[in-house]
A and B are shown apart, each in its own frame.
Chain A
Amino acid sequence: MKFQTTDPAANPGGVLYHRCRVDLKSGELVYVEVPCRNLEDVLGGFGRSFQDLAKRKITAAYCDENPLIVNTGLLTGSSAMTGLRTYFSGYSPLKGSQAGLPAAMWSTGSGKFGAKFKWTGLDELIFENRSATPVYVVIKETADGPRVEIKPAEHLLGLSTHDKIMALQQGYDNAHFAVIGQAGENWQQNYMAAVALSTENQLKSKEDKCRFAGRGGMGSLMGYKNILALVAQSSDKLGKLSEAVKQVNLNVVKGGGSARIQPLSRGGGGGTWAAYDVLQEFHAVPLNNFRPQGNDIPEKLFRENVEPDYHIKSEACFRCGITCHNNISEKHADGSKGEFLAKFDYEPLNLLGTNLGIHDAGQAARLIQLGDNYGMDSISLGVTIAYLLAYNQRHPETPILNGATFGDYEKIRALVIQAGEGKLPEIAKGSMRLSESLGETAYAYHVKGLEIPAYQPETNPGYAWAIAGGHMSMATYGLLTREGKSDLDSWVKGITEDKLHIVGFDMIGLCKFFDIAKGIGTQMVVDCLQSEFNLQVSTEAIRAAVRRAFLRGLALEFRQGYQKAEFCLPAEVSENPNPHIKLPNITNPEFVAELEKRVWAIFEPELEGVLD
């Protein structure tokens, strides 16, 4: 990026980003330095990409006019801790309105690809049309600036995410990779493919330790465009750590924001896995398709019950002191580490474990590993399979597909493999389509066509207003459980003021664990922007930009045909309230109706003209 101003809020045009538009049909490449339209453009990520998506009227995700936008955030590749994010945006094959139109979507992940991409000198790639043959795309720094090359990729076809990265690593030093697996290659039959991003740990250990931009089928869109991989080749360009950023980074590690996800050895909670213990206290750990039974079954996957049999190692992303990864490996008889299995985060562990009736850590780990290697979003995959298992439980005489039921590991494993290989569109096109085809939609746990994460909807009516994934684009998932808020005022404020700010992290290039509670409108971010780029931006200006970006996301949903009635939780939540969840009922029809009324009264006037 180029900075010709120190005041990007007042003079956004004084900040320019470097874009390459790639026409995959003709092979034409157009490099442009683009002046920013507003502070959202400066911050980057979906704050910029959604403005470009809004200019296009897209009626089907798989069409030439639907771009795949790959970009970074302002602090991606900076010295600020967690500044590793890459964003993939486009109209989603998975998330869509009842009107049949695809929703605008972004997905993001860490790994080191984003930083390498930024260090090539490029800030954004826009892929237009599609290639007639499989290709991979190399972005590299040269003496003349960043250059993009399109290369044949037949040799990568059929390889898993990890194997593609290992194959590409042979040919590219000093590079990182963003790839799809077989799921993305089978985009016609799989709408939930992820983009896998390589990590330093992976390239060194040769173990399948990717990070994923999983949500909304951005890997499927990449597959449609016939792009199997992106390679970002550049020297590392970390500047000297300033005293200001050093202090910020110390705050990230030692402050309260990341405490729960730091290793147990440092007094932290031990990663997101610890959510199991907390939610179980309320009997709110999803079990058998989001129907907790008020028993202790979820405790089988508590860390304390897994640790005796498996080797668990706390590891970190590149230069990140939070160290949130819990990498699980087989354990030899002498206690030493065996084969690497998977990273245990709360979402994939629950949704490919307890919520499928799988309570064996090794089996859950193998399912996570399989899904990762095929390159599928673990949330959408797990929730859609859970729906199928619930359907089969309700129809024991006429089960569908392979007849799998809760806890049947071998049959569930077969479903994952078939979905990954493009042989099971019933699963791989997501729970909305499957439930509608079966005529039983009440217990399909998606909102607006995107499967919800592993927080019971009974604890989070805010899901309805999430714009790109239930917990990472509307952070109300802890408002009841953690904060104990069950009154309307708190929920209206949470949805319309505080909790929407989580999406700021999907603009600026930082991981949410930088400061998940406060968002990016903070002095820490102000200090980083001043120190890294000599930019003077107030916390108020940042918060205003994040709010505008969020509202643009909501407006785009309406533009793509969503009706207010679609902003709702799965019907089972109110039709058949779960008596086992030990929390106040805030998803009863009366509460929800009043919440909707008050939230829309605030949002609706602000949506006017937001896409102009």
Chain B
Amino acid sequence: MQVRVRLIGAFRLERFKEKILDYPDGTRVEEIFAQLQIPRRALGTVLINGSHARLDDVLTEGDNLALLPILGGG
């Protein structure tokens, strides 16, 4: 299946901004996350098709996945 993956903020550094990637059916968010080698402590929010999601959510064909760093005040 194909998933459009968008990386936000610092996650883009030395990776990419947005890509359409192929994954096996049943792939979970956390598998993609691990593959991208983003430090777990830096992950703030996962969005699937614009809605908040969890790392153990399963993706489906054509999903838009966005990975956002932690939001902080200042």
- B44's nearest neighbour on chain A, judged by CB, is A482
Residue contacts A-B, CB under 8 angstroms, 9 given:
A267-B39, A272-B73, A278-B45, A346-B73, A347-B73, A484-B51, A512-B73, A516-B72, A516-B73
Q: Are A481 and B71 in contact (CB under 8 A)?
A: yes
- From 274 to 291 in chain A, residues with beta carbon under 8 angstroms from any chain B beta carbon are 274-275, 277-279, 281
Check: A28 CB closer than 8 A to any chain B CB: no
Q: Are B71 and A478 in contact (CB under 8 A)?
A: yes
The distance in angstroms between the C-alpha atoms of A347 and B73, with both chains bound, is: 8
Tally of chain B residues near chain A (CB < 8 A):
22
- From 51 to 74 in chain B, residues with beta carbon under 8 angstroms from any chain A beta carbon are 51-52, 66, 68-74
Return the CB mask of A241-271 against B: 1 if under 8 Å, else 0: 0000000000000011001110010011111
The distance in angstroms between the C-alpha atoms of A437 and B10, with both chains bound, is: 44
- A276's nearest neighbour on chain B, judged by CB, is B9
Check: B32 CB closer than 8 A to any chain A CB: no
The distance in angstroms between the C-alpha atoms of A475 and B45, with both chains bound, is: 17
CB distance from B29 to the nearest CB of A (A): 13
The distance in angstroms between the C-alpha atoms of A268 and B70, with both chains bound, is: 9
Q: Are A482 and B71 in contact (CB under 8 A)?
A: yes
Query: Chain B contacts of A264 at CB under 8 A?
Result: 10, 13
Q: Are A324 and B74 in contact (CB under 8 A)?
A: yes
- B17's nearest neighbour on chain A, judged by CB, is A304
Q: Are A274 and B10 in contact (CB under 8 A)?
A: yes
- B7's nearest neighbour on chain A, judged by CB, is A277
Q: Are B52 and A269 in contact (CB under 8 A)?
A: no
Question: Which listed residue (A275, A304, A582) contacts B72, Cβ 8 A?
Answer: A275
- From 172 to 224 in chain A, residues with beta carbon under 8 angstroms from any chain B beta carbon are none
Check: A477 CB closer than 8 A to any chain B CB: yes
The number of residue pairs between A and B whose CB atoms lie closer than 8 Å in the complex comes to 94
Return the CB mask of A144-183 against B: 1 if under 8 Å, else 0: 0000000000000000000000000000000000000000
Check: B47 CB closer than 8 A to any chain A CB: yes
- B46's nearest neighbour on chain A, judged by CB, is A484
Q: Are B39 and A259 in contact (CB under 8 A)?
A: yes
| With known contacts A281-B47, A481-B45, A582-B50, A270–B71 Cβ distance under 8 A | no
Q: Are B45 and A267 in contact (CB under 8 A)?
A: no
Tally of chain A residues near chain B (CB < 8 A):
38
Q: Are B8 and A277 in contact (CB under 8 A)?
A: yes
Query: Chain A contacts of B47 at CB under 8 A?
Result: 281
Return the CB mask of A500-525 against B: 1 if under 8 Å, else 0: 00000000000011001000000000
Check: A472 CB closer than 8 A to any chain B CB: yes
Check: A111 CB closer than 8 A to any chain B CB: no
Check: A102 CB closer than 8 A to any chain B CB: no
Q: Are B41 and A255 in contact (CB under 8 A)?
A: yes
Apart from A259-B41, A267-B39, A478-B72, 6 more pairs, CB < 8 Å: A260-B44, A270-B10, A275-B72, A275-B74, A482-B71, A513-B72
CB distance from A498 to the nearest CB of B (A): 15
Q: Are B70 and A345 in contact (CB under 8 A)?
A: no
CB distance from A515 to the nearest CB of B (A): 12
Query: Chain B contacts of A277 at CB under 8 A?
Result: 8-10, 68-69
CB distance from A110 to the nearest CB of B (A): 12
Query: Chain A contacts of B15 at CB under 8 A?
Result: none
The distance in angstroms between the C-alpha atoms of A513 and B72, with both chains bound, is: 9
The distance in angstroms between the C-alpha atoms of A260 and B42, with both chains bound, is: 6
Q: Are A261 and B10 in contact (CB under 8 A)?
A: no
CB distance from B40 to the nearest CB of A (A): 8
The distance in angstroms between the C-alpha atoms of A275 and B8, with both chains bound, is: 10
Q: Are B44 and A347 in contact (CB under 8 A)?
A: no
For the complex, would chain B's binding face be called helix, strand, loop or mixed by DSSP majority? Answer: mixed
- From 1 to 41 in chain B, residues with beta carbon under 8 angstroms from any chain A beta carbon are 8-10, 12-13, 39, 41
- B12's nearest neighbour on chain A, judged by CB, is A304
The distance in angstroms between the C-alpha atoms of A336 and B50, with both chains bound, is: 41
Query: Chain A contacts of B41 at CB under 8 A?
Result: 255-256, 259
Q: Are B9 and A274 in contact (CB under 8 A)?
A: yes
- B6's nearest neighbour on chain A, judged by CB, is A281
| With known contacts A269-B9, A269-B42, A278–B68 Cβ distance under 8 A | yes
Q: Which of A270, A477, A484 has the most CB of B within 10 A?
A: A484
Check: A47 CB closer than 8 A to any chain B CB: no
Query: Chain A contacts of B70 at CB under 8 A?
Result: 256, 259-260, 269, 278, 482
Q: Are A482 and B73 in contact (CB under 8 A)?
A: no
| With known contacts A264-B13, A270-B9, A274-B10, A484–B45 Cβ distance under 8 A | yes
Query: Chain A contacts of B52 at CB under 8 A?
Result: 483-484
| With known contacts A268-B10, A269-B10, A484-B45, A274–B69 Cβ distance under 8 A | yes
Query: Chain B contacts of A513 at CB under 8 A?
Result: 72
Query: Chain B contacts of A279 at CB under 8 A?
Result: 71
- A255's nearest neighbour on chain B, judged by CB, is B41
| With known contacts A277-B8, A304-B12, A482-B44, A345–B74 Cβ distance under 8 A | yes
The distance in angstroms between the C-alpha atoms of A531 and B58, with both chains bound, is: 46
CB distance from B34 to the nearest CB of A (A): 15
- 6 nearest A-B pairs in the assembled complex, by CB-CB distance: A484-B52, A272-B74, A277-B9, A260-B70, A256-B41, A259-B41
- From 457 to 471 in chain A, residues with beta carbon under 8 angstroms from any chain B beta carbon are 471
Check: A570 CB closer than 8 A to any chain B CB: no
CB distance from B74 to the nearest CB of A (A): 3
The distance in angstroms between the C-alpha atoms of A270 and B45, with both chains bound, is: 17
Q: Are B72 and A272 in contact (CB under 8 A)?
A: yes
- A257's nearest neighbour on chain B, judged by CB, is B41
Q: Which of B12, B39, B42 has the most CB of A within 10 A?
A: B42
The distance in angstroms between the C-alpha atoms of A272 and B73, with both chains bound, is: 6
Query: Chain B contacts of A270 at CB under 8 A?
Result: 9-10
Query: Chain A contacts of B13 at CB under 8 A?
Result: 264
The distance in angstroms between the C-alpha atoms of A231 and B22, with both chains bound, is: 63
CB distance from B15 to the nearest CB of A (A): 12
Query: Chain B contacts of A255 at CB under 8 A?
Result: 41
Q: Are A482 and B45 in contact (CB under 8 A)?
A: yes
Check: A453 CB closer than 8 A to any chain B CB: yes
Q: Are B73 and A260 in contact (CB under 8 A)?
A: no
Query: Chain A contacts of B74 at CB under 8 A?
Result: 261, 271-272, 275, 324, 345-347
Query: Chain A contacts of B42 at CB under 8 A?
Result: 259-260, 267-269
Query: Chain A contacts of B8 at CB under 8 A?
Result: 277-278, 281
CB distance from B63 to the nearest CB of A (A): 16
